[in-house]
Amino acid sequence: MNESNRMDRALEETGLTDIHEKIVGKIRIDETDAQRLFETHDLNLLGYLANLANRQKNGDTALYLLNRYVNYSNYCILSCQFCSFARKKRDNDGFQLSLEEILKRGKLALEAGATELHIVGGLHPSLPFDYYVDMLAGLKAQAPNVTLKCFTAIEILHLGWLARKPVPETLARLKQAGLDSLTGGGAEIFAPEIRREIARGKESAEEYLEVHRIWHEMGSGSTCTMLYGHIESLADRVDHLRRLRKLQDRTRGFTGFIPLAYQPESNRLSVKHPPTGADSLRTIAVSRIYLDNLDHITAYWIGLGLDLAQIALRYGADDLQGTIEEEHIFHMAGAASPAKQTRQSLTAAIREAGKIPVQRDTFYQPITDEAA
């Protein structure tokens, strides 16, 4: 039996022939289809379908980024149940970087060839709005060509509160100071009853989407995420993807989607079955097929490990994200991955997966084409 016959038979046995036809015909699948894909036991078939959908958009290339993470502080006024990163002032392992220390990290990133600084932190109890403005302006003055991808939606709401300005004015002031892109963090899971259980006190789904909508309508881009593999159901994942796709239909401002595998250590959320490799591949694959209006799906190696992220390049992902250099949020929650990768380790992983590595910028645009 040849490959094509094998796939036809698998499609028939799983009852997914109609979804295959939709992918081939570039017809949007609906939420019921997404749920059926999540529930299929044939992971290889799902990978085949996701790979098909990915190749229609991205051919045989896979992207990587030279970037550096900076967490300016892990002090936070909130206490999200799933979070292992946040600390209170009374804790002895809290930290807060001075502007000089942040500029130093920015300089190191520049020397290492990074094209992006990715900066997030907790909702600090006392730093003033000027700290954030000065941070952006100082980094831009030091390295105008390094893209500043900073802050989650809840940080923007917090900064607006500090500045006593509505979100549009807050974003405009930050953009003027040097903000180039918002990060996608903090989406967690949108379903309100689950959100209450894992991140009580955090912004609602509507508020998260509203911050991104406003940012997009200012002509700027951002990424979006989903934290999966804790207490949510598959239907909650589909609902999350549905809300992202709906906003993307309106703004086209999301540059990529980054599914984040939940890390279970050092927090107050009791999770019996954190995400397995199969669950991560399934989630990436369904995301690729369902989010037809998003060009790029990232296999986030920090949460998956580079070995699984590499395999995900055959399950619908077309991006490995970046070199990162220094990571706290996932590692404080038990991630077993190293803290950084090199350009060589990322390109080797991409090549071994049978793809062509292409360096990208923050907005997923190619910087150099190594295939050339």
Q: Which residues bind ligand SF4 (CB under 6 A)?
A: 76, 78-80, 83, 85-86, 122-123, 154, 199, 202
What residues does 226 pair with on adjacent strands?
259
Closest contact distance (angstroms) between CB of 157 and ligand SF4 is: 10
Query: Which amino acid does the sequence have at 315?
Result: Y
What one-character-per-residue DSSP string does 85-140 give?
S-B-TTSTT--B--HHHHHHHHHHHHHTT-SEEEEE----SS--HHHHHHHHHHHH
What does each C-alpha distance from 347 to 274, 281, 355 come to in angstroms? 29, 20, 9
**Per-residue b or e along 31-54, where b marks 16 or more CB atoms closer than 10 Å to that residue's CB:** eebbbbbbebeeeebbbbbbbbbb
Polymer length of the chain: 372
Q: Is 149 helix (H, G, I), strand (E, B) or coil?
A: strand
Closest contact distance (angstroms) between CB of 167 and ligand SF4 is: 17
Closest contact distance (angstroms) between CB of 116 and ligand SF4 is: 21
Which residue, 83 or 241, is less far from ligand SF4 as judged by CB? 83
Both tokens assigned to 233: 């159901």
Which residue, 72 or 85, is less far from ligand SF4 as judged by CB? 85
Which residue, 242 or 328, is less far from ligand SF4 as judged by CB? 328
Which residue, 150 or 154, is less far from ligand SF4 as judged by CB? 154
Closest contact distance (angstroms) between CB of 204 and ligand SF4 is: 13
Both tokens assigned to 15: 């009852």
Contact (CB, 8 A) for 301 and 260: no
Which residue, 80 or 211, is less far from ligand SF4 as judged by CB? 80
Contact (CB, 8 A) for 46 and 315: yes
Q: Tokens 């030279």 — which residue?
A: 66
Closest contact distance (angstroms) between CB of 74 and ligand SF4 is: 7
Which residue, 86 or 146, is less far from ligand SF4 as judged by CB? 86
Closest contact distance (angstroms) between CB of 121 and ligand SF4 is: 7
Both tokens assigned to 40: 């299929």
Q: How far apart are CA 289 and CA 255, in angstroms?
A: 16
Which residue, 122 or 275, is less far from ligand SF4 as judged by CB? 122
Closest contact distance (angstroms) between CB of 158 and ligand SF4 is: 8
SS3 content of the chain, % helix, strand, coil (to 5): 45, 15, 40
Distance between first and last Cα of the chain:
37
Q: Is 311 helix (H, G, I), strand (E, B) or coil?
A: helix
Q: 121: which residues sit within 8 A by CB, 6+ positions away?
A: 71, 72, 73, 74, 75, 76, 155
Which residue, 190 or 364, is less far from ligand SF4 as judged by CB? 190
Closest contact distance (angstroms) between CB of 210 and ligand SF4 is: 17
Closest contact distance (angstroms) between CB of 203 and ligand SF4 is: 9
Which residue, 260 or 306, is less far from ligand SF4 as judged by CB? 260
